[in-house]
């Protein structure tokens, strides 16, 4: 598409999913004309489930949404996977409600936009990596593929100022017990033999390789400092806006860039912040203020009504010490779920939102500085 003389208008709708296969609220958006299936850039959502490699709820939610879009567009679910970014995160513990966020964008001739329409708003860009093979997961080849795709997504959005990028979401592949066994049978050693989300889990390696790729694309990380050995080892390398996750249902890295642009005529604006600890809401408030909300301690009810969505990554801290005391979070057998629970409770307590995108559970991460977590807020303007 030739975008010369065109300006973007991005929209966002959040709907609940009563089960991983429930797409009825998305269908209502299509029926009312609020959302055009052909303008969807991405769907980002939460399903109930374990959040682990065998989370069938997550895979079912992904397939259900692709099947719905395929039926409206007269194509196949596999083709939909090539046309949009679909990032479904498994596990909705605590106050996190299963939902789907529909992100759409259309480009229109600038002269057709009303003069009173706001500028400087939300803009979206998307791209996919090439296929990431099991032997490449968690290694520099996945880093480089992600970097390339993020740069393509930035170009897709028409972004010229990288400081206006407030989150880069990437959903990519993870190893499974089967793919690990297949590699070993071929004499190929995978990055790890653990398919899970623990400190040595393939989901963590995949997520962090993609996070480093984001950081390189945005100039936050120097490529020459990255080797296979630095992934999940050198925590001085990180991105302030990467939010990555993985699952066995994916073959490629699917990228969504969330940013602002002076060319945008969206009635939404994004901002981001970094939490300073697992027990702090400071990064969330920073993200809201960065997006344009003005408040002292906490958002008022009027402020809350203008919050369109929160995208947050909540990982496990690198230390068992919090505010001078020992916590047992790192010893819990479902620590990955507890991290999401903490994130969800934090977001709900400050914003009132339950249908917020809360991903996480990794032990340490290249997403944000040590003990910090990236959060993106989208508000109405």
Q: What angle do CA 157, 161, 164 make, to 5 degrees?
A: 80
pTM: 0.96
Does position 92 have pLDDT exceeding 90, yes or no? yes
Q: What is the mean pLDDT of residues 214-228?
A: 98
Catalytic (active-site) positions: 171, 245
- Residue with the larger pLDDT of the pair 308 and 2: 308
Distance CA 238, CA 241 (A): 9
Cα 345 to Cα 102, 279, 338: the distances in Å are 23, 10, 10
Q: Please give the CATH topology (third level) of the domain spanning 124-258.
A: 60s Ribosomal Protein L30; Chain: A; (3.30.1330)
Distance CA 276, CA 371 (A): 6
Beta bridge pairs of residue 270? 378
Q: What is the pLDDT of residues 238-288, one digit of tens each?
A: 999 999 999 999 999 999 999 999 999 999 999 999 999 999 999 999 999
Cα 64 to Cα 2, 57, 59, 218, 245: the distances in Å are 32, 10, 9, 33, 19
Q: What is the pLDDT of residues 194-214, one digit of tens each?
A: 999 888 999 999 999 999 999
Q: Any idea which of 168-172, 230-234, 336-340 has the lowest mean pLDDT?
A: 336-340
User: How would DSSP label each residue in 290-307?
Assistant: HHT---SSS--HHHHTTE
Does position 76 have pLDDT exceeding 70, yes or no? yes
Q: With contact defined as beta carbons under 8 Å apart, do 349 and 281 qualify?
A: yes
Task: Report the percent of the chain where pLDDT is more than 90.
Answer: 88
Q: Do the two domains 124-258 and 267-380 of this chain adopt the same fold?
A: yes
Q: How confident is the model at residue 311 (pLDDT cuts 50, 70, 90)?
A: very high
Q: Any idea which of 104-108, 119-123, 190-194 has the lowest mean pLDDT?
A: 119-123
Computed over every residue of the chain, the mean pLDDT equals 95
Instruction: Identify the pLDDT of residue 116.
Output: 63
Q: Any idea which of 113-122, 124-133, 349-358 has the lowest mean pLDDT?
A: 113-122
Residues near 320 by Cβ (< 8 Å), separated by ≥ 6?
Answer: 326, 327, 328, 329, 330, 331
Spell out the CATH class of 267-380: alpha beta
What are the tokens at 316?
Answer: 């496990």
Q: Domain residue spans in the chain?
A: 6-117, 124-258, 267-380
Does position 180 have pLDDT exceeding 70, yes or no? yes
Instruction: Identify the pLDDT of residue 151.
Output: 98
Q: What is the CATH number of domain 6-117?
A: 3.30.1330.170
Instruction: Identify the pLDDT of residue 373.
Output: 94
Element (H, E) at 125: strand 122-131
Distance CA 113, CA 115 (A): 6
Q: What is the mean pLDDT of residues 121-150?
A: 98
Instruction: Identify the pLDDT of residue 53.
Output: 83
Q: With contact defined as beta carbons under 8 Å apart, do 375 and 351 qualify?
A: no
Q: How confident is the model at residue 374 (pLDDT cuts 50, 70, 90)?
A: very high
Instruction: Identify the pLDDT of residue 199.
Output: 86
């Amino acid at each position: 598409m030739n975008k010369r003389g065109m300006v973007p208008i991005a929209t966002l709708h959040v709907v609940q999913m009563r089960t991983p296969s429930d797409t009825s609220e998305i269908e209502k958006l299509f029926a009312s004309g609020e959302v055009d299936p052909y303008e969807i850039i991405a769907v980002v959502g939460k399903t109930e489930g374990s959040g682990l490699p065998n989370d069938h709820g997550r895979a079912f939610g992904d397939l259900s949404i692709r099947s719905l879009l395929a039926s409206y567009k007269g194509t196949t679910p596999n083709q939909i996977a090539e046309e949009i970014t679909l990032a479904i995160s498994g596990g909705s513990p605590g106050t996190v409600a299963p939902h789907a966020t529909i992100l759409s964008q259309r480009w229109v001739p600038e002269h057709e936009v009303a003069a009173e329409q706001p500028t400087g708003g939300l803009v979206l860009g998307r791209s996919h990596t090439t296929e990431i093979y099991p032997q490449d997961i968690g290694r520099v080849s996945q880093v480089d593929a992600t970097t390339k795709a993020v740069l393509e997504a930035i170009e897709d959005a028409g972004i010229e100022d990288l400081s206006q990028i407030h989150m880069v979401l990437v959903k990519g592949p993870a190893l499974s017990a089967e793919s690990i066994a297949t590699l070993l049978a071929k004499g190929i050693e995978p990055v790890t033999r653990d398919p899970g989300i623990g400190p040595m889990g393939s989901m963590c390696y995949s997520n962090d390789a993609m996070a480093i790729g984001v950081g390189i694309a945005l100039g936050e990380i120097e490529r020459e400092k990255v080797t296979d050995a630095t992934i999940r080892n050198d925590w001085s390398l990180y991105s302030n806006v990467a939010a990555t996750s993985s699952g066995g249902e994916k073959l490629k890295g699917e990228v969504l860039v969330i940013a602002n642009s002076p060319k945008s005529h969206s009635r939404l604006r994004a901002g981001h912040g970094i939490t300073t600890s697992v027990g702090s809401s400071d990064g969330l408030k920073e993200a809201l203020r960065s997006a344009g909300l003005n408040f002292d301690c906490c958002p008022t009810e009027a402020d809350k009504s203008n919050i369109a969505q929160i995208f947050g990554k909540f990982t496990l801290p690198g230390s068992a010490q919090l505010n001078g005391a020992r916590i047992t979070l790192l010893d819990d057998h479902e620590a990955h779920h507890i991290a999401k629970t903490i994130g969800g409770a934090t977001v709900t307590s400050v914003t009132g939102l339950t249908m917020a995108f809360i991903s996480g559970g990794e032990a340490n991460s290249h997403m944000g500085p040590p003990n910090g977590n990236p959060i993106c807020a989208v508000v109405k303007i």
